[in-house]
Structure 1
Amino acid sequence: MEPDAPLIPMPELTLPGLRRAVAVVVPSRLPEFFDEMQKAFVQAGEDDSVLPIRMFYRRWGVVVEIERHPRTAQRLHAAEAALNSEDADVRARAVREAGEIVRAAHREVAGDSFAPGFTTVG
């Protein structure tokens, strides 16, 4: 199998970098991005903390990390769809697959490239 080559380089976890990346790899989610951005900044003001903004950057960094790899994104979306299966085994496999993909993306965004290419463990 060929490596899952990224569509774009991973952007910096900044508002402009993430906004541009979302606009390229998953433009249909821009309204969600802007809605969550607004909520994060309001929450940061209410809490007098930058944590909501950092969490927003991390969440969208993970989204971009997954979506910039077409095969990985396809695998995640297939796993998400399989969660609606009536077969408990199919649902269990889907949960494992989605979890592995999301955990690998979190590691990449955090700078731990333990799982390059989002290979699955099992």
Structure 2
Amino acid sequence: MTTQPDHGHELIPRPEPTPDAVRVALARIAPHRLGEMEQQKEQALAAALQDGKIGHLQHWLVYWRARVEIERRPDLRSRHQAALASLHSTDSRSDPEFRAAMAELRAVEDEAQQAVSG
């Protein structure tokens, strides 16, 4: 586990950027998502084998590092959940609340991506 800037209370430290460390972290904070993680890993591995590019696996790891970042930080998790709730309460994509919720989801995703990439 690595150290990181303080964002308030964090459920667990940020894991090292390895598949095993990310899997262990996810098992601690969102075990219900392990099946999804494994399924996407298999898809990334199949795509990498098919076209000979490791980028599929790199993208998979970055994606799941960001998911762990959102789950381990209550500030990001609550923003993410609120945006999803707002999104699901809208009637159409033309609803201004839909656009605002999507913008907030993107902001949370971007913040999580930057945190694990920096």
Shorter-normalised TM range: 0.7 to 0.9
CA RMSD of aligned residues (A): 1.5
TM-score (norm 2): 0.85
Q: Is it true that 1:67 corresponds to 2:71 in the alignment?
A: yes
AA of the residue aligned to 1:62: A
Range with greater deviation from structure 2 (31-40 or 85-94): 85-94
Q: Give, in whole Å, the separation in 1 of the partners of 2:19 and 2:28.
A: 14
Q: Which residue of 2 aligns with 1:86?
A: 91
Residues 47-97 of structure 1: CA distance to partner in whole angstroms, max 9, x if unpaired?
A: 111101100000001100111012321220221121121382322221121
Taking the TM superposition and a 5 Å limit, the aligned residue runs for 1:1-122 are 3-84=7-88, 85-86=90-91, 88-111=95-118
Q: Give, in whole Å, the separation in 1 of the partners of 2:17 and 2:51.
A: 21
* Residues paired across the two proteins, number: 109
Would you identify which runs of 4 or more consecutive aligned residues in structure 1 move more than 3 Å? none
Residues 1-39 of structure 1: CA distance to partner in whole angstroms, max 9, x if unpaired?
A: xx5321111112211101101101111101000101111
Range with greater deviation from structure 2 (88-97 or 99-108): 88-97
Percent of aligned positions that are identical = 30
Residues 88-117 of structure 1: CA distance to partner in whole angstroms, max 9, x if unpaired?
A: 232222112111111111111111xxxxxx
- Which ranges of structure 1 fall in alignment gaps of 5 or more residues? 112-122
Residues 67 and 73 in structure 1, CA contact (< 8 A), matched pair in contact too: yes
Q: 1:4 to 1:89 in 2, by over 3 A?
A: farther
Q: 1:90 to 1:4 in 2, by over 3 A?
A: farther
